[in-house]
A and B are shown apart, each in its own frame.
Chain A
Amino acid sequence: MGSVAERYNQSKINPQKLALWVAIGGIVMMFAAFTSAYIVRRAAGNWLEFKLPAIFFVNTAVILASSIALHLSYTGFKAGREARYKGFLVVTFVLGFIFVILQYYGWVALNNIGATFTVNPSSSFIYVISGLHAAHVLGGIAALTVALTHAFVLPFKPTFRRKQRFELVVQYWHFVDILWVYLIIFFMLNGS
């Protein structure tokens, strides 16, 4: 590390991005706690088995599509193509909204097959974990709202500062997407 001492090693990564990564680490720990609690509880028996409604799988496609849209918007932003940037940002926003609404219908479907919130921890866990994930998606939608305001209110200028702010939104949105993919795979493997 001798050479490191000689140069000024400040800001290799933007502090806000690093802070967001650390926060994501915290969120990951929370969901790790939930899913390990799920495993521990499931191993103890008295576990109601049911099939996860198909709507949750459809919804996985929705949130994956929203991530792709956001990526296209981001590359459009970097390439200076305003229409693509704005258009796909709107698409992302709409898909994010649809995701939360469809999650709600997923819970309704769960309820209809008798897997109610209180009947057994097996279903309670699904509601709590997916509900908490939806809360994080709502946080992402709030961030997307800020990004939309930037896109449509401010003049289109892909400055360094604008890019950094946008990247924070992108980083978080991809995270809640990947988090859902983890959760749905987890629910599949640990058949509720």
Chain B
Amino acid sequence: MAHVVTAAETLEDQLTQEHGFDDHFHEHHHGDKFQSNFLTTYIFSTDHKIIGRQFLITGIFWAFIGAAMSIVFRLQLGFPEADMAWLKPILGKWIQVDPNGIGKLDPEFYYSLVTMHGTILVFFVLTAGLSGTFSNILIPLQIGARDMASPLLNAFSYWFFFLAGVVLFLSLFLSTGPFSGGWTAYPPLSALPQASDGSGTGMTMWIVAMALFIVSALLGGINYITTVLNLRTKGMNLWRMPLTIWAFFVTAVLGVLSFPVLLSGALLLMFDRSMGTSFFLSEIVVGGEVLERIGGSPILFQHLFWFLGHPEVYIIILPSMGLVSEVLSVNARKPIFGYTAMVYSILAIGFLSFIVWAHHMFMAGVNPFISNFFVIFTLIIAVPSAVKVFNWIGTIYGSNFRFNSASLFAVGFVSMFISGGLTGIFLGNSAIDIQMHDTYFVVAHFHIVMGIAAFFGMFAGVYHWFPKMFGRFMNETLGKIHFWGTLVGAYAIFWPMHYTGLAGVPRRYYDGGASFDAFRHFGDLNKFITVAAVFVFFLQILFIVNFFYSIFSGRKVTVKNPWGANTLEWTTPIKAGHGNWPGNIPAVQRWPYDYGKDGEEFIPQYVPLKEGEHDHGGGH
């Protein structure tokens, strides 16, 4: 590969030699014996950069499956009378063709699709695919470490995720269908195998997949925390860490503290399902048969579920926030506005996320006095969130902004986060939630704020770090079409849902409420939403094509630091081997946001402070 050596890179090598940390890397590593062939290099690798790419590509696979499912149920919702016989080759018996040749989506399978869409997107794509990918790729590279604290456990983290995916994927082909009781798996639908078709083997496999996934998330999280606290390079104090690292770190803490709680809920659920206990079951009649289960409380499961479930939404959004902060600052060529406030707001959001879970349960019969407590803390989350939005806008304001695919998606993230965050203030009020609960207003809120926004952050990250991951650029024109189409399309999907939700149209109904007189006039709006969803779906295929085409045939990266960024990942060779830096690990001399300082466009972190120069990162 033609590698143009620039003046800056010569300086960088010299400084790394002088100030860098010599851990005698070469004395121990005469080639990597663990990466001797294709299988050990690309499949069973322990290199964090490969594992990150494995997470990303697996995540893209699941995003495609999950999005395709949403297209099927959106077609059902928008065009409930239409003929779906053309889907029979894919969906088989789930399309029932009547004697006239008109195909209908099986109502039970509709619920399975909704359930699987939620499970896949929340856990497999926006947790594993997002924080798994970028924590892996960026943590060691940005803090200056050779690899994770335990590369082996890190590989296990991926393979447990992979296994969870295999189990869930197989459950799609069960004759009784995959689980259909909603991604939250509330009992009794989830606790009684006889409750519905999907509650049998489908639910068993769902629970096994979740258990494997939790193991994956814990192994990953333990590794990320240890690596950030323990393996930072010389000079990299906490206040010199890029905001990406702060975000991944707090995400990992949230995961390690909340996933075990979901595991305990899942265990109790398993005992209820197969051992005859009644933790969550009470006075139940199924199909005319009175069950012997007494004394359980279905609300208890909701508490255990949402104690994970709410931190989970921040597990999803925090990595995106970190990526967006970094991408915005690099492309605005300005320091991130209010770095310290950004760090404290990440910590505040992380802390608050643990004491707001019951706002998902206002309508579940929770004591209204307890609701008050949760309302107050829920609304307080708006404060650190607003601080972050203000700072992102402050970063862009007055800058000479570089518009590329990555930075556009970062700006799009801010837009989505504001739009979705504002409706959160409505839903956080328990009184307003009486009307809004389980309507399309909720669907619109969380899809914009943690679905689309998190995806935008992820896209910003993929476009920005693609050169680091694959040594090539993604196509910019396709990237910009992808951005503008998705921005407009996503608002076209979810904006109208606020109206239908305010009018009371309930979510999860097979015909989208068309059988109710009060909601029938929303039929055209529903059609519009479906058309927009199909449009956005095809744009994401454009992204996938761009992604895989660029891996093999994109424009090659010729300089180490194509974006002119300050962080350490851009000091590694274009195609970095296992161990990241061939010689010394660069030492960090300053915080990562010295853009436009002292007449210089950017000053990387390895450049020593000048005489009398004040370092933002060291001054705390």
Binding site for B on A (CB under 8 A): 1-2, 4-13, 15-16, 18-19, 22-23, 25-27, 29-34, 37, 40-41, 44, 46-47, 117-118, 120-121, 124-125, 128, 132
Contact B268 A128 (CB under 8 A): yes
| Chain A residues with CB below 8 A from B296, complex form | 41, 121
The CA of A12 and the CA of B229, in the complex, are separated in Å by: 9
The CA of A37 and the CA of B271, in the complex, are separated in Å by: 15
- B248-277 residues at the A interface, CB under 8 angstroms: 256-261, 263-265, 267-268, 271, 275-277
- B305-340 residues at the A interface, CB under 8 angstroms: 307
Contact B618 A19 (CB under 8 A): no
What are 24 residue pairs bridging A and B, where the CB atoms are less than 8 Å apart in the complex? A1-B238, A2-B619, A5-B235, A5-B617, A8-B587, A10-B232, A12-B230, A22-B225, A23-B222, A25-B257, A26-B222, A27-B260, A29-B258, A33-B264, A33-B265, A33-B307, A40-B297, A40-B300, A41-B297, A44-B297, A117-B276, A124-B271, A124-B277, A128-B267
Contact A23 B218 (CB under 8 A): yes
Contact B256 A26 (CB under 8 A): yes
| Chain A residues with CB below 8 A from B259, complex form | 26
* Count of B interface residues, CB-CB < 8 Å: 53
| Chain B residues with CB below 8 A from A120, complex form | 278, 295
A-side binding surface: helix, strand, loop or mixed?
Answer: helix
Binding site for A on B (CB under 8 A): 21, 149-150, 153, 218, 221-223, 225-227, 229-235, 237-240, 256-261, 263-265, 267-268, 271, 275-279, 294-297, 300, 303-304, 307, 587, 615, 617-620
Contact A8 B235 (CB under 8 A): yes
| Chain A residues with CB below 8 A from B232, complex form | 9-10
Contact A118 B300 (CB under 8 A): no
Q: Which residue of A lies closest to B229 (CB)?
A: A18
Contact B237 A8 (CB under 8 A): no
**Known A26-B218, A37-B300; contact A15-B277, beta-carbon cutoff 8 A:** no
Q: Which residue of B lies closest to A13 (CB)?
A: B230
**Known A34-B264, A41-B300, A128-B268; contact A26-B278, beta-carbon cutoff 8 A:** no
| Chain A residues with CB below 8 A from B276, complex form | 117-118
Interface centre among B257, B264, B294, B297 (most CB of A within 10 A): B264
The CA of A44 and the CA of B256, in the complex, are separated in Å by: 29
**Known A9-B232, A30-B264, A40-B303; contact A22-B256, beta-carbon cutoff 8 A:** yes
| Chain B residues with CB below 8 A from A16, complex form | 149-150
The total number of A-B Cβ pairs within 8 Å is 129
| Chain A residues with CB below 8 A from B230, complex form | 10-13, 15, 18
B-side binding surface: helix, strand, loop or mixed?
Answer: helix
Task: Identify which of B222, B231, B267 contacts A10 (C-beta below 8 A).
Answer: B231
The CA of A23 and the CA of B260, in the complex, are separated in Å by: 10
Contact A30 B256 (CB under 8 A): no
The CA of A26 and the CA of B279, in the complex, are separated in Å by: 22
Interface centre among A6, A15, A26 (most CB of B within 10 A): A26
Contact A37 B150 (CB under 8 A): no
Q: How far is the CB of B580 from chain A (nearest CB, A)?
A: 15
Contact A128 B239 (CB under 8 A): no
Contact A15 B300 (CB under 8 A): no
The CA of A15 and the CA of B238, in the complex, are separated in Å by: 17
The CA of A31 and the CA of B300, in the complex, are separated in Å by: 15
Contact B618 A2 (CB under 8 A): yes
The CA of A99 and the CA of B259, in the complex, are separated in Å by: 29
Contact B149 A19 (CB under 8 A): yes
The CA of A127 and the CA of B358, in the complex, are separated in Å by: 28
Task: Identify which of A5, A9, A33, A46 contacts B615 (C-beta below 8 A).
Answer: A5
Task: Identify which of A4, A5, A128 contacts B271 (C-beta below 8 A).
Answer: A128
Q: Which residue of A lies closest to B257 (CB)?
A: A29
Contact A121 B278 (CB under 8 A): yes
**Known A5-B617, A29-B261, A37-B264; contact A15-B234, beta-carbon cutoff 8 A:** no
Q: Which residue of A lies closest to B218 (CB)?
A: A26
| Chain A residues with CB below 8 A from B277, complex form | 117-118, 121, 124, 128
Contact A30 B261 (CB under 8 A): yes
Q: Which residue of A lies closest to B239 (CB)?
A: A1
The CA of A117 and the CA of B268, in the complex, are separated in Å by: 12
- For the complex of A and B, the 3 pairs showing the least CB-CB separation, nearest first, are A30-B260, A8-B234, A33-B261
Q: How far is the CB of B502 from chain A (nearest CB, A)?
A: 34
Q: How far is the CB of B14 from chain A (nearest CB, A)?
A: 20
The CA of A118 and the CA of B271, in the complex, are separated in Å by: 9
| Chain A residues with CB below 8 A from B225, complex form | 18-19, 22
| Chain B residues with CB below 8 A from A11, complex form | 230
The CA of A14 and the CA of B174, in the complex, are separated in Å by: 47
Task: Identify which of A1, A25, A27, A124 contacts B279 (C-beta below 8 A).
Answer: A124
Task: Identify which of B226, B229, B275, B618 contacts A5 (C-beta below 8 A).
Answer: B618
**Known A15-B226, A15-B231; contact A1-B237, beta-carbon cutoff 8 A:** yes
The CA of A18 and the CA of B256, in the complex, are separated in Å by: 13
| Chain A residues with CB below 8 A from B21, complex form | 8
Contact B240 A124 (CB under 8 A): no
Contact A117 B295 (CB under 8 A): no
The CA of A117 and the CA of B307, in the complex, are separated in Å by: 26
The CA of A44 and the CA of B260, in the complex, are separated in Å by: 24
Contact B261 A118 (CB under 8 A): no
The CA of A40 and the CA of B280, in the complex, are separated in Å by: 12
Q: How far is the CB of A124 from chain B (nearest CB, A)?
A: 4
The CA of A25 and the CA of B223, in the complex, are separated in Å by: 13
Contact B231 A22 (CB under 8 A): no
Q: How far is the CB of B286 from chain A (nearest CB, A)?
A: 17
The CA of A11 and the CA of B232, in the complex, are separated in Å by: 9
| Chain B residues with CB below 8 A from A13, complex form | 230
| Chain B residues with CB below 8 A from A6, complex form | 235
Q: How far is the CB of A116 from chain B (nearest CB, A)?
A: 10
Contact B275 A117 (CB under 8 A): yes
Task: Identify which of A7, A23, A37 contacts B304 (C-beta below 8 A).
Answer: A37
Q: Which residue of B lies closest to A36 (CB)?
A: B303
The CA of A41 and the CA of B296, in the complex, are separated in Å by: 8
